[in-house]
Structure 1
Amino acid sequence: MGSRPPNLFVFSTVDILATNLRTYIVQCQTMALNRHDVFKVAISGGSLPKTLAKALLAPPTSPEDTIRFDKWEVFFADERAVPLDHEDSNYRLLKDELLDKIPTDAGKPTVYPIDVNFLDDAQELADQYEKLLVQSFAARDSVKLPLFDLLLLGCGPDGHTCSLFPGHPLLRETSGWVLPIEDSPKPPPTRITLSLPVVTAGLRIAFVATGGGKKDIMKKIFEEGNGLPCALVNEMAGDRCTWFTDSPAVEGVAFPRRGSL
């Protein structure tokens, strides 16, 4: 369990949020490159890639502010069992919003999409993606869990994150790294997702939640918990978890705000 509570930052506009999110990501990148000369990141879908693009495609304000895309290894925190060019694909979403727009002189990240040869077998799709993690994070028998340098996540209106949904049996998984789900309450029903232990083991975890439509669920996450997946991440990761929100998303939420990064 996290020893200290998560960090909640609230910004007046999404543009200011994006600027601060960039600063945070650069800090995580610097720590990772100093540690092992690569930056291992897991990213979810939804509205997150658009905000990431706003943060990461801005020109650097100093040499220290440079995004070293050539050092990034990008994995997907969850993915839908659809072709990579399908409108429901998180890969396609990230590609359209961010990857295709990275300037050529900024370098290109190494990106790990799902193996579309296994779209008809959710378990095998998950197993194959787990093999990618094993290859990247060393032999499975020597590593209990992959330690991402940063996970960039969203928060659904029901409190789900990745494809971990409230009350779902997958929340009880303790050893698997990548899990199949064939009964997602949100379409499409068949997906794969990082497990809760993998998410909460991350060295840094950042949630992005914006808009007034999030305020009811944010109140439940921060004031009640109730086993909601986002609340479980808060509880298990503690201050390794940081929330980037705008004012409408946390209106009426009783939880201490952080003043600055």
Structure 2
Amino acid sequence: MTQPQVVVHDTPELLAAAVAARLVTALVDAQAARGTASLVLTGGRTGTAVLEQLRDAPARDAVDWSRVDVFWGDERFLPAGHPDRNETQAREAFLDHVPVDPARVHAVAASDGRFGDDPDAAAAAYAEVLARAAGPGDHGPVPVFDVCLLGVGEEGHTASVFPDSPAVHETERTVVAVRNCPKPPPTRVSLTLPAIRASAEVWLLTTGAAKAGPVAMALGGADEVEIPAAGARGQRRTLWLLDHAAAGRTPGAAHPA
């Protein structure tokens, strides 16, 4: 696995715009190499801001969005269309504005969907979606995602893998149901760290002084059980994309790039 690289931007707005530009380049390069690309989306304020910047960027059309497979790193287990679902936010911010192929947009089942209010069944079904999307060259039960976008929580969680939770100890399954989350909503579906580590590139995006502690701990070598974000690494590249405030307690990373 790769050693993390850190890129710091002055403000959350600059960070979102820079990540959007970086994402266009990464997806164009993937499509030039293989004809298709795969992207794992994250929710939250920063993840949504990146998608809004991407929507408004003239360069977005350099990507053939009909040949991008879209997945989610985690999902809040809520009814379809609920405003707090990551899928809902991503569709409103970006996906509804570009010519994606609906068959390539792989959303997690909603709590009022085909599996009803059963997050374990929804997680198992999403694991099957990932397994079907994996090709012979992926050598595993999930695709080698070109880019996996992730957020980082104030206690160091990423996706919906929280410190010292059953999910952070998971080594076999690629997707799990997460219950009793310390922040609402309490029930979610999440990729596990082994699934995340199948990605070619993992980009961890976070802003604000409240994140400075877990960022510094993760970059300082904290155990992933204590700080799950420390265990999110890409096969080819691991990027921490921070604003000035989130980088404030990380030695050598506090000056904007």
Alignment TM-score, normalising by the size of structure 1:
0.85
Equivalent residue number for residue 23 of structure 2? 25
* 1:81 aligned partner: 77
1:29 Cα deviation after fit: 0.6
Deviation at 1:7, TM superposition (A): 1.1
Q: 2:130, 2:142 within 8 Å by CA — same for their partners in 1?
A: no
Question: Which is richer in helix?
Answer: 1
Matched, 1:211 2:208: yes
Tell whether the 8 Å contact from 2:156 to 2:163 is kept in structure 1 after alignment: yes
Q: CA offset at residue 117 of structure 1?
A: 1.7
Q: Deviations over 1:203-246 (max 9, x none)?
A: 0111111122222222222235143111122xx44761112111
Q: Partner of 1:244 in structure 2?
A: 241
Q: CA deviation at 1:164?
A: 0.4
Matched with 2:50 is 52
Q: Are 2:74 and 1:108 equivalent residues in the alignment? A: no
Q: Is 1:197 the counterpart of 2:194 in the alignment?
A: yes
Deviates more, 1:180-189 or 1:78-87: 180-189
Task: Select the residue among 9, 12, 27 that pairs with 1:11.
Answer: 9
After TM superposition, give the deviation of residue 11 of structure 1 in Å: 0.8
Any gaps of 5 or more consecutive residues in structure 1? none
Q: In the alignment, does 2:37 pair up with 1:43?
A: no
Q: Deviations over 1:86-127 (max 9, x none)?
A: 132111111222223x2xxx5225322223221421221111
Question: Could you tell me the percent identity over the aligned residues?
Answer: 28
Specify the alignment match of 1:134 in structure 2: 131
Q: 1:70 to 1:128 in 2, by over 3 A?
A: same
**For 2:39 and 2:255, how far apart are their aligned partners in 1?**
24
Native 8 Å contact 1:40 1:150 kept in 2: yes
User: 1:14 offset after TM fit, Å?
Assistant: 2.8
Partner of 1:91: 87
For residues 4-28 of structure 1, the C-alpha deviation after alignment (integer angstroms, 9 at most, x for no partner) is x211111112333233212321232
Distance 1:67 1:16, change over 3 A: farther
Question: Any gaps of 5 or more consecutive residues in structure 2?
Answer: none
TM-score, normalised to structure 2, is 0.86
Deviation at 1:149, TM superposition (A): 1.0
Cα distance in 2 for residues equivalent to 1:226 and 1:59: 38
Partner Cα separation in structure 2 for residue 35 and residue 136 of structure 1: 18
1:111-169 CA distance string (max 9 Å, x none): 22223221421221111111211222247x96344211111111111110111001112
Query: Quick one: distance in 1 between partners of 2:249 and 2:76?
Result: 34
Count, aligned residues: 250
